[in-house]
Amino acid sequence: MEHPNIVEFQVTGMYALFSDPITRIGGEKCSYQIPTYEALKGILASVYWKPTIIWYIDKVRVMNQIQTETKGIRPIKYSEGGNNLSYYTYLKDCKYQVQAHFEWNENRPDLKEDRNKNKHLSIAKRMIEKGGRRDIFLGTRECQGYVEPCKFGNEKGYYDDLAELGFGLMYHGITYPDEAYSKETKEKMTVNFWNPIMKKGIIEFPRPESCPYHKTIRSMQMKLFEDQTNFIGLKEFEEDK
């Protein structure tokens, strides 16, 4: 059953770098063949984000042929100064359709007065029409992206006739303390992994808690929003308006 708080959008870009965490340790970087859940969630957070809600990516549709291009890059040597020569492998000519929805962040009972479904859904759709509140990137800063509304499933996709394609073990995303879904993930940073399979160009993402593999990275405290310190109370905001 589809969730009622759904948004649909298309994201395009000349290049993308959805990095495998293993290849980010050294100077070389190589993109996954498909967008990660975390990268798409980050794009949506750049479009519209509030601590009251949590975005969940339901599925992505790969519209263009998966192609890569390797470039010579000169990253800065932070410890010594100067530059190194590294090779980054990017995806090119990227185009994706995305369907997502939001749910209330139950770890934020202090923001329950802000739980107005129609308000958040209307703002999110309006921000998609405007191309987002903040700059859009496809995995990394140098890969500029562009967001626009779409109807998921419209247009012809390159992989529409491909029955099934697997991508092996892959990084799914990070669960932070304010989005913890169990006692094991509370006050921790947790990384989730899964085995994506594309069917007729569409990849359906599991929820973070449904991923088959999880790894705790470190302990982390949830950021607190303190009234009049780093947060304006809802009542005061309404009075100012």
Q: Enumerate the domain spans of the chain.
A: 6-165+197-206
Pairing of strands 86-104, 6-16: antiparallel
User: What does the pLDDT average to over 169-197?
Assistant: 88
Nearest in space to 43 (alpha carbons), one of 113, 115, 164, 144: 144
Architecture of domain 6-165+197-206: 2-Layer Sandwich (3.30)
Tokens of 204: 């359906």
Q: What is the pTM of this model?
A: 0.86
Rounded Cα distance between 191 and 211, Å, is: 10
Q: Which of 76, 20, 62, 11 is nearest to 40 (CA)?
A: 11
- For 24, residues 6+ apart whose C-beta sits below 8 A from its C-beta are none
Q: Write down the pLDDT at residue 226.
A: 64
Per-residue pLDDT band for 240 (boundaries 50, 70, 90) equals very low
DSSP-H helix ranges across 130-212: none
**201: Cβ–Cβ under 8 A, 6 or more apart, which residues?**
61, 62, 63, 157, 158, 159, 160, 162
Please give the DSSP secondary-structure letter assigned to residue 199.
Answer: B
- DSSP H helices, the chain, are 37-47, 117-129, 234-240
Least confident of 109-113, 114-118, 148-152, 195-199: 109-113
Mean pLDDT of 230-238: 55
**φ, ψ at 42 (rounded to 5°):** -65, -40
